[in-house]
């Protein structure tokens, strides 16, 4: 089973450790034994002008996942939306209303479904690859989340090289480490069975990276970068 997935995560934090906006969307190809990505691509957002409603995130994720899927032809695409694994091409208005999710979730899907459903449907007609709204039960979604944290850290390093410093809030229970040019991210939840990711940020200047718990968001870590 070869799975493409995408997720958005990693936030620029203010002085009170509260998120200003999200930074990166990552799409990943996850193959057996399903612990990391064999390939990843990213897209950066502007955290200073970020739509926190979740609409932008799910659109970015779908489009980035399709971009990677066109290249690697997976068996299936997993989105980070916990709708029980329903194919997104089935999400017409009647089906959305029948879902057992919050009214806010329904409003988001009514809104973005109009735009995404034709795209996803055409992709399925052309390739036979389905886009499923599986959410948290997918390991591939979690691997994408770890990569979003890695790319957000990379963004933070570049930001710090310009601005002198950056504080990045990582996705839930993961840590990062920069060692010999490799930026490695690991899940802090051993129940997940050892999920991790690695990217190569090509940092030229020496930067100092400190990882510690976000005091106002238990189980979330902060990456503090100083040049």
DSSP code string of 92-120 = -HHHHHHSSS-HHHHHHHHHHHHHHHHHH
Q: Which residues bind its own copies (CB under 8 A)?
A: 1, 3, 15-17, 30, 32-35, 134, 136-140, 142, 172-173, 175, 188-195, 210-219, 221
Return the number of the residue (45 or 187) whose C-beta is nearest its own copies. Answer: 187
Other beta carbons within 10 angstroms of residue 214's beta carbon come to: 18
**What is the closest distance, in whole angstroms, from the C-beta atom of residue 49 to its own copies in the complex?**
25
Shortest Å, Cβ 226 to its own copies: 13
Minimum separation from the CB atom of position 202 to its own copies (A): 27
Give whichever of 91 and 195 is closer to its own copies, judged by the CB atom.
195
Smallest gap from residue 195 Cβ to its own copies (A)? 7
CA distances from 150 to 17, 143, 155 (A): 19, 11, 9
Contact 145, 211 (CB under 8 A): no
Beta carbon nearer to its own copies, 159 or 196: 196
CB of 35 to its own copies, least distance (A): 6
For its own copies, which is the closer residue by CB, 84 or 164? 84
The DSSP code sequence of 46-94 is: -GGG--TTSHHHHHHHHHHHHHHHHHH--SEEEES--STTEEGGG--HH
8 A C-beta contact, residue 220 and residue 169: yes
Q: Would you say the C-alpha torsion 171, 177, 183, 184 has a positive or negative sign?
A: negative
Query: Residue 31 or residue 56: which is nearer to its own copies going by CB?
Result: 31
Cis preceding linkage at 90, omega within 30: no
Min separation Cβ 34 and its own copies, Å: 4
Structure-block tokens of residue 119: 């795209």
Residue count of the chain: 227
Nearer residue to its own copies within complex by CB, 57 or 195:
195
């Amino acid at each position: 089973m070869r799975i493409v997935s995408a997720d958005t995560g990693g936030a620029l934090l203010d002085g009170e450790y509260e998120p200003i906006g999200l930074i990166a969307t990552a799409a990943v190809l996850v193959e057996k034994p399903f612990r990391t990505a064999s390939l990843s691509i990213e897209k950066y957002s502007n955290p200073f002008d970020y739509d926190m409603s979740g609409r932008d995130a799910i659109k970015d994720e779908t489009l980035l996942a399709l971009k990677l899927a066109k290249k690697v032809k997976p068996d299936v695409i997993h989105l980070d939306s916990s709708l029980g694994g329903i194919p997104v091409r089935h999400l017409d208005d009647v089906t959305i209303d029948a879902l057992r999710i919050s009214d806010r979730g329904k409003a988001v899907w009514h809104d973005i479904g109009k735009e995404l459903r034709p795209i996803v449907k055409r992709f399925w007609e052309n390739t036979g690859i389905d886009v499923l709204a599986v959410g948290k039960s997918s390991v591939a979604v979690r691997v994408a989340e770890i990569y979003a944290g890695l790319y957000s850290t990379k963004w933070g390093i570049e930001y710090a090289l310009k601005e002198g410093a950056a504080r990045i809030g990582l996705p839930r229970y993961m840590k990062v480490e920069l060692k010999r040019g490799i930026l490695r991210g690991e899940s802090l939840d051993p129940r997940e069975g050892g999920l991790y990711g690695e990217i190569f940020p090509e940092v030229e200047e020496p930067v100092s990276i400190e990882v510690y718990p976000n005091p106002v968001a238990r189980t979330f870590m902060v990456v503090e970068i100083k040049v």
